[in-house]
Amino acid sequence: MTLALLLISSFSFKAEVVESKASIIPSPEIKIEEDQPVTQEAESATPSAIVERVVEKKKDITEPTSEIKDKLGSYLSDHPLKPLTITNFLQHAIRSAIKNGVPANTIVLILLFPLVAAIIAGSRHVVGVRGFGIFLPAVLSVVLVATGIIEGILLFLVIIMVATAARMALRKLKIEYLPRMSLLLWFVCLGVLLTLFLSPILNLIALTTLSIFPILILILLAENFISIHITMSMKEALRMTFETLFIALICSLVLNLEFLQKFVLLYPEITVITIAFLNLFMGKYVGLRILEYKKFKEIF
């Protein structure tokens, strides 16, 4: 009897030891639950994920993404409309268009583009900064908004340098104007393509995320640039090129002002009337330009 009790007690002691060891060893289910968060962190730390976060381009007003539309749309929803009158009919029309699917950022760009043209006209007529007309700096300012200032300036300078070098090389070929301009655009496209190829090597990752349409606009602007360059010296052409780039840079900064975007969307009537009076006021100015005072300082 005593021997039987000893055997039973030894078996029970061994069973307790086995259970205690089993409790120490983690089960496969617990291991999977503990490893799951680590796996997600490891995936987020992979080089491809890091590069993806680096090259992610900040959304600008030229892109009809849900982020931009929701941002401007939520701003309008925070400011309810008053009853329809002669002073707010544009506000009602804008909100009706946005409600029917017209992107809010498109409306903002259309309202701000006359302001950009007025700034360019004022810089030439009042200040004295020359530049290449109104069309080229205005379009270039929108391109800089779409591409980013650094990337847009880099592409613009590449296109200008390639176009200038190609024009000098094509002087020796006695071909007509239109085929020569087509061949010049061929050189410009190759230059842009080479820039895109070299952008990862030069650590210019943002260039790889650019949309095709701003790049095409920059390429097409090369024809206007070369057409103007034909009638002037190289020194004067370079000076006007940098003046054009400076004006476009100022206008792109104006287009990127968030408070101005919200203002023109909330008060379109004031925006339209103010820009019209600004142009009329500048049109009445017949005095010397600001930079001309420095030019004729010795005469004064």
Mean pLDDT of 206-217: 80
Residue 73: what pLDDT?
65
19 pLDDT more than 50: no
Q: Are residues 22 and 152 in the same domain?
A: no
The reply to whether 288 falls in a domain is yes
User: What is the 3 state secondary structure string of 234-254?
Assistant: HHHHHHHHHHHHHHHHHHHHH
Inside any domain, residue 3? no
Q: What are phi and psi of 143, to 5 degrees?
A: -65, -40
Residue at 23 is within a domain:
yes
Residue 59 burial by Cβ neighbours in a 10 Å radius (0-12, 13-18, 19+): middle
- Tell me the per-residue pLDDT of 107-126, one tens digit each, with 9 for 90 and over: 888 999 999 999 999 888 88
Could you tell me what percent of the chain has a pLDDT over 70? 75
Residue 143 confidence (pLDDT) above 70: yes
Residue 12 is assigned to a structural domain of this protein? no
97 and 220 together in one domain: yes
Distance separating alpha carbons of residues 101 and 66, to the nearest angstrom: 12
* In the predicted structure, residue 13 carries a pLDDT above the cut 50: no
pLDDT for residue 8: 44
| Whether residue 5 has pLDDT greater than 60 | no
Do 145 and 287 fall within a single domain? yes
pLDDT value at position 300?
65
CA distances from 52 to 55, 197, 203, 206 (A): 5, 18, 14, 11
Shared domain check, 214 and 159:
yes
Whether residue 69 has pLDDT greater than 80: no
Average pLDDT over residues 184-189: 90
Supply the pLDDT for residue 60: 56
Asked if residue 207 and residue 131 are part of one domain, the reply reads: yes
Domain extent, residue 44, equals 18-56
Give me 46's structure tokens. 């992979």
Are both 249 and 110 inside the same structural domain? Answer: yes
- Alpha-helical (H) ranges within 148-176 are 149-170
pLDDT (mean) for 206-211: 76
pLDDT range class, residue 226, cuts 50, 70, 90: confident
Instruction: Tell how far CA 273 is from the center of its chain.
Output: 28
Same domain, 49 and 113: no
Q: Residues 225-249: what's their mean pLDDT?
A: 80
Number of domains in the chain: 2
Q: Which residue pairs, CB below 8 angstroms and at least 24 apart, start in 16-20?
A: none
pLDDT of 117 reads 92
CA atoms of 52 and 44, how far apart (whole Å): 10
pLDDT digits (tens, 9 = 90+) for 34-66: 444 444 444 444 444 433 433 444 555 565 554
The answer to whether residues 133 and 271 belong to one domain is: yes
Instruction: Count how many Cα atoms sit within 13 Å of the Cα of residue 67 in the half-sphere of its side chain.
Output: 7
In one-letter notation, the amino acid at residue 13 is F
pTM of the model: 0.69
Q: Could you tell me if 160 and 28 lie in one domain? A: no
* Max Cα distance, the chain (Å): 133
Q: Which residues have a Cβ under 8 Å from the Cβ of 167 and sit 6 or more positions away? A: 184, 226, 229, 230
- Check pLDDT > 70 for residue 134: yes
Which residue did the predictor score with more confidence, 260 or 171? 260
Tell me: do 52 and 97 sit in the same domain. no
pLDDT score recorded for residue 41: 45
**199 and 207 Cβ atoms separated by less than 8 Å:** yes
Within a domain: residue 1?
A: no
